[in-house]
Amino acid sequence: MKTHTLLMPLDMHLHLRDGVMLENIAPLSAYSFSGAIIMPNLVPPVTTLDDVKKYKKRIMATVPNDYFEPYMTLFYKNYDKAFLESVVDNITAIKLYPDGATTNSDGGVSSFDIEEMRETLEAMSELDIPLCVHGETAGFVMDREAEFMSIYELLAKNFPNLKIIMEHITTKAAVDMLDKYDNLYATITVHHLLLTLDDVVGGMMMPHHFCKPIAKRPEDLDALLSVALEAHPKVMFGSDSAPHPKNKKESCGCAAGVFTAPIALQLLCEIFEQYDKLDNLQAFVSDNAQSIYGICPEFKEVVLEKRPFEVPASYSDVVPLYAGKEIGWAIQSVE
Amino acid sequence: MKTHTLLMPLDMHLHLRDGVMLENIAPLSAYSFSGAIIMPNLVPPVTTLDDVKKYKKRIMATVPNDYFEPYMTLFYKNYDKAFLESVVDNITAIKLYPDGATTNSDGGVSSFDIEEMRETLEAMSELDIPLCVHGETAGFVMDREAEFMSIYELLAKNFPNLKIIMEHITTKAAVDMLDKYDNLYATITVHHLLLTLDDVVGGMMMPHHFCKPIAKRPEDLDALLSVALEAHPKVMFGSDSAPHPKNKKESCGCAAGVFTAPIALQLLCEIFEQYDKLDNLQAFVSDNAQSIYGICPEFKEVVLEKRPFEVPASYSDVVPLYAGKEIGWAIQSVE
């Protein structure tokens, strides 16, 4: 049987939520990943050292028997340097949300006034704290990410020593930005390597394919595949796996988010094998992230095997991408 | 109180379905419209004289006390001239669906081979039977209508005496086609004068705004408004009101279709008044259609008044557009 081994897989963009949801889903990521960048958009968001420490403790309590590192983040506000110095050892990045751009992003940045942000972003540059950005304007849904490129340019030019991660990129416009500025990086989800808007509203309306940023055009998918499959050194895997209870997804006015954490590595094997690029997957799911973030995850070896695997209908009350469908790879062992 | 009177409103694109659904919803259109072009996409579709006569009889049975003319249509197939001569007095148009393009369109046209269609389309030209077309390719969801323009051109050029109605147009591309060929006309829905893709998937996922063709970009909406508000003489109102039971709309994999029939005139008054174009509404909802189709509907006078009106949460088990929301106009009387 064909197998493929991944070492220290990392999920550089993960939503673990809190409470019962956290307990239900954190073990799924902890099983197959060495670590993950943990999004801070709880309600209320993670904004203090105390928040960070307590949230990390709650996460670790759910995964007592796994080697799993939750790389903690703060929710972006204009923080002063003294505060950042006090938290730098407890966080790996700061996540910036435009106000209202997605789930639990209220209180995010409402205007990108560089001078107002300067103290924070210069301190982050000095302390080498990466800025992770949900890059969408409040414009027309298909244009939001492309319109945000000018803000990435503004940030990249004004803060050349700040590592800026364009999170969950979905467009050719974002791919084209990667090589324009040394300090711009990107994460890409697995669902954005599989879906276009056709899969959301092209046939029936598919709530489990609905996320923000929304899946875009075929040429955008092609651009994402091109840098992911080559494991472009500035690109990392970040699932943006975003669980919502089944009843919140399958009702009128469904919430945005695709849940992929427990099947992400399997799907990535399938995609990379399909394009004969399995050799590049290790860089995409771990090595690039280690270099960009300067992190050294605990050892974990995940062996995947090529065999039919039926995606569960749900994990607790969360419906994953491709629920009930057969995919081509499964996890054989984790050590 | 401000009022506005419409004479003989016509809905030039209406889905009445069959059975219990027909009984529940046909009276709603019959109340406020003088007549409507009735779509033939039943299961199985309306393809024979007998089908037409029986379906019309079933429709009329639901509206015994209203002046309402169901202008019947056939589902497009390649019909021979003798057949068309035998049905011409019982139909007003023939509706062409690309195979699988929308609800109940299986068995539609799978390739636009002009020579295979020539006998039918020439006979329709001679008998002055308009061809109503659902103009979407099987391409990317946002491009389907624009891609179909070359097929409209092919049809318009090859059959210059055939009246071709571009149904429920949603794009600037279609608006731009209107004046290129004398024999091209269009219907526009009320929801496509109100919604863009932002209203479908820009915030939450909104199944009651999901239809085919899907609502497009802001510049498309602007183009549609420009010809509708001017009551461009080649443009007619056609609601494409398409009822589905609430459970079919509000579940995973929801069906396409927006239900507007009972609130269409009210919403049109609101839109046209907002742009100070109420004087053009009569042409858009009736006069243009009478000229294009050469039909003389029974007299009906609908008086609308400007006052807050809360759209019902549902009509039987069908949820209308803007259910539970307040709109600015209501029907005062119908005579």
Q: Say if B218 is an interface residue toward chain A (CB within 8 Å).
A: yes
- Compare CB distances from B207 to A140, A196, A252 and report the shortest one's residue: A252
In angstroms, rounded to a whole number, what is the distance separating the alpha carbons of residues A221 and A170?
A: 7
> What ipTM describes this predicted complex?
0.95
The shares of helix, strand and coil residues in chain A, as percent rounded to the nearest 5, are: 40, 20, 40
Q: What is the pLDDT of residue A106?
A: 86
A8 — contact with chain B (CB < 8 Å)?
A: no
Answer yes or no: is B118 a known binding residue: no
DSSP code per residue over A165-191: EETT--SHHHHHHTTT-TTEEEEE-SG
Q: Return d(Cα A246, Cα A314) in angstroms, integer.
A: 8
pLDDT at B84: 98
Beta bridge partners of A165: A132, A185
> What SS3 class is residue A204?
coil
Subunit contact A205:B202, Cβ cutoff 8 A: no
For residue B3, what pLDDT is reported?
Answer: 98
Q: Where are the beta strands (DSSP E) in B76-200?
A: 93-96, 131-133, 164-166, 184-188
Percent of chain A with pLDDT over 70: 100
Signed CA dihedral, A279, A282, A288, A290: sign only: negative
Q: Which residues of B are catalytic?
A: 240
Residues B36-70 have pLDDT tens digits of: 999 999 999 999 999 999 999 999 999 987 789 99
pLDDT score of A89 more than 80: yes
Q: Determine the average pLDDT of the residues in B249-255.
A: 81
Task: Specify the DSSP element, H or E, that contains B6.
Answer: strand B3-7
Beta bridge partners of B188: B237
pLDDT value of residue B101 = 85
Q: Does A204 touch chain B (CB under 8 A)?
A: yes
Query: What is the pLDDT, as a whole number, of residue B196?
Result: 98
Does the annotation flag A13 for ligand binding? yes
- Span A246-288, pLDDT tens digits: 988 887 778 899 999 999 999 999 999 999 999 999 999 999 9
pLDDT at B89: 98
Q: Is B258 on the interface with A (CB under 8 A)?
A: no
Task: Compute the C-alpha angle A277/A278/A282, nearest 5°.
Answer: 115
Distances (CA, A) of A226 to A25, A68, A136, A185, A275: 31, 30, 22, 15, 10
Whether pLDDT at A202 is above 80: yes
Task: Annotate B72-85 with DSSP letters as a single string.
Answer: EEEEP----HHHHH
Asked if B88 and B127 touch (Cβ cutoff 8 Å), the reply is yes
Rounded to whole angstroms, the Cα distance separating A166 from B15 reads 46
Q: Specify the amino acid at residue B174.
A: A
Q: Which of A89, A240, A279, A317 is catalytic?
A: A240
Q: What is the 3-state secondary structure (H, E, C) of A292-329?
A: HHCCCCCCCEEEEEEEEEECCCCECCECCCCCCCEEEE
Can you list the domains of chain B with their CATH numbers? 3-334 (3.20.20.140)
pLDDT for residue B254: 83
Give the best residue of A137, A140, A205 to mutate against chain B (max B CB count within 10 A): A205
Q: For residue A103, is pLDDT > 90?
A: no
List CB contacts of B2: < 8 A, sequence separation 6 or more. Answer: B305, B306
Taking residues A124-143, what's their average pLDDT? 98
